[in-house]
Structure 1
Amino acid sequence: MSTARFISLEGGEGVGKSTQLRALEAALRAAGKDVLTTREPGGSTGAEAIRSLLLGGDADRWSMRAEALLFAAARADHVEKTIKPALSEGRWVLSDRFLDSSLAYQGGAGGLEIEAVRALHRFGSNDFLPDRTLVLVLPEGQERARQRDGDASDRIGGRDIAYHAAVADAFASIAAAEPKRVRMVDASGSPEEVTRRLMTELAELL
C-alpha cells in the first residue's frame, strides 16, 4: 500500500480552486492513488453543521474571535472523524481549505495574528498539518470572483477588496515561513497548465 498523504488546496477568492480541486483529484487517481476529497469548513457531520453557521447570515454575524473559534471547532471534528480515519486506511486526502485559510483570513486579514489562530489549532487538532499545502495565486482573482458570482456567495467572500488583499499577503507570509510544506502556485493560464504545476509540487510525495 502506498504512503497516505494529506494535501490541502488553498487560495483567495476567484483563483479557480474548485476547478483545480476536481482536476487534482483526477490526476491523483490517474497516478494510482485512492483519494478522498473533502472541504472546510465541513467534511464531517459536526463540521458541516458549523459550516452553515459560519458562512450564512449577515457580515457582522460573528466577531472575528468567534469566527476563529468556530473554524477551529469544525476543523477538530473534521480531523478526528474524516481525515485521520481515511489516512489510516492508506487513502490520500485532498481538502478544499484547511488551517492556512484560518491563519490567512482570521489571523492575518482579520487582525487576530497568525500565531493566535495557530494556538487554537494546537489545542483543537493537536497541531495536525497537511503533508503539502498548495496555495493558488492569481492577482485578479477577487475581481474574477465578483464577475462570476455577482453578489458574494457567502459572508466571508463578500468582504471588501482590502480584506482580500490582506488575505493574499498573509498566504505569502505563511509560505515564506514554511517553504517545505506550503507552496505558492501560479494560477494563471489554462486549467491544464495550472494542474500540471500543482502536480509538479506534489511529485516528491507521489
Structure 2
Amino acid sequence: MSHTVHFNGGRDARGHLDTRESKAKYTIDSCVIACPPHPQHGGHSSDRRLCAVSDQLPPEIDCLRITYGSWDHGHGEYADVANALEWAHNRYDQCGLFGYSFGAALAIGVATTSTCVEFVSALAPPQSIDDGSVVETTTALYNTNIPTQLIYGTQDEMISINPTVEMLQQNASSDKFDIRSFPTGHAFQMFLDKVGIAVSSFADNITNSERKYSA
C-alpha cells in the first residue's frame, strides 16, 4: 500500500511511501528514498525505474518515491532529497538512497554529506548537475565512505559514464563499490525487473545483518 507524505523545507516536494502489509514484526525498520530523473523531462515519483525498485524490495524495506518541488536548477531538488532523508531518518532505523539519472547524482551528493545514510545506489548518473556546483558525480563517488552501487547501460546514448567507471575500478576500494552494467540504453527498457532485483539485493544485503541481530 502507498500513501502521500510531505516534507519540511518550504517547498512543495512530496513523496509516496510504499509499505508492505506482510512486514515482519520486531525487526529494524529500513527505508529507501528513491529519487526520480530530471523534473523538466517528466521525472516524478511514478517513474518506472523507481517503481521497479520499490516492487522488488523485500517486505522489511519500505520505499519513499519522491517528487521534487518547483524547478530550481538542482539546488532546490538537492534540498528536497535531503529533506526527504530527514523525514525518513526520523521514522526509520536505517535509510538508503536510490536515484535514476538526475536523481542518481542527487542521491550520490546527499549521501556524501549526510551521516544517516547506510548505502546509496545510482542508476545512470550524469557527470554533474549545474556544471558541478550542485554535484560533481565522480568526485563525490570517489569520496564516499558508505557502500555504493553504480549501475549503468553499456549502450547509454545520453550520458558518458565510462570514465567514472574506469576511475572507480582503478582507484576505489573494491569492497566499497558494487558496479554493474546491462546491455541497454539510458531508459533501461526491458531491464527494469533486473535493475529492481539488483538494487533490492544490494539494499537487502546491507540491512539484513542488523535486522537479524535485532530479531
State the TM-score, normalizing by the size of structure 1: 0.48
Structure with the larger helix share: 1
Q: Of Structure 1 and Structure 2, which has the larger fraction of its residues in strand? A: 2
Which gives a bigger RCO, structure 1 or 2 (Cα 8 Å, sep 6+)?
Answer: 1
